[in-house]
Structure 1
Amino acid sequence: MDISTLEALKPMLISFQTLALLVLFVGIVWWAYSKRRKGKFDDAANSIFDEEEKARHRRGTEQDRAGANKK
């Protein structure tokens, strides 16, 4: 196989690569938006609020946005 044969195959290989990446992208989007994953992603998205509530209960005092204790 010489260089001219590889140059002739290059457009076809690029087409296959583009098609493979498109299929991979569609697969990832399908996985991310499937109904089975919704609960896990919602839990992960709301986990930051759970941590703030736990930290507030541990401290015993409520803080304002700047971090100062409220009276």
Structure 2
Amino acid sequence: MDISTLEALKPMLISFQTLALLVLFVGIVWWAYSKRRKGKFDDAANSIFEEEQGEQRRQGTEQDRAGANKK
């Protein structure tokens, strides 16, 4: 292949790359906004407001700097 042949193919390759990235973007947006995943995303978004995990941490045993459990 000659340099002039590669230069002639460059616009076509850029077009294919742009089209592939557009299809990838649309696919990711479609996946993220699908109705099947809405419940999972809502649960993940609201998990920060749940207090159960914080209470479990406080009830567990504490450790000193060396990693030994305190009484």
TM-score (norm 1): 0.73
Matches of 1:66 and 1:47, distance apart in 2: 32
Aligned length: 71
Identity of aligned residues (%): 90
Could you list the runs of 5+ residues in structure 1 that have no partner in the other structure? none
1:56 Cα deviation after fit: 9.7
Taking structure 1 as reference, are residues 6 and 61 closer, same or farther at Cα in structure 2, changes over 3 Å only?
closer
1:60 Cα deviation after fit: 14
After superposing on structure 2, the runs of 4+ consecutive aligned residues of structure 1 that deviate more than 3 Å are 51-71
1:51 Cα deviation after fit: 3.8
1:25 Cα deviation after fit: 0.2
Cα-Cα RMSD: 5.6
1:4 Cα deviation after fit: 0.5
Taking structure 1 as reference, are residues 67 and 24 closer, same or farther at Cα in structure 2, changes over 3 Å only?
same
Could you list the runs of 5+ residues in structure 2 that have no partner in the other structure? none
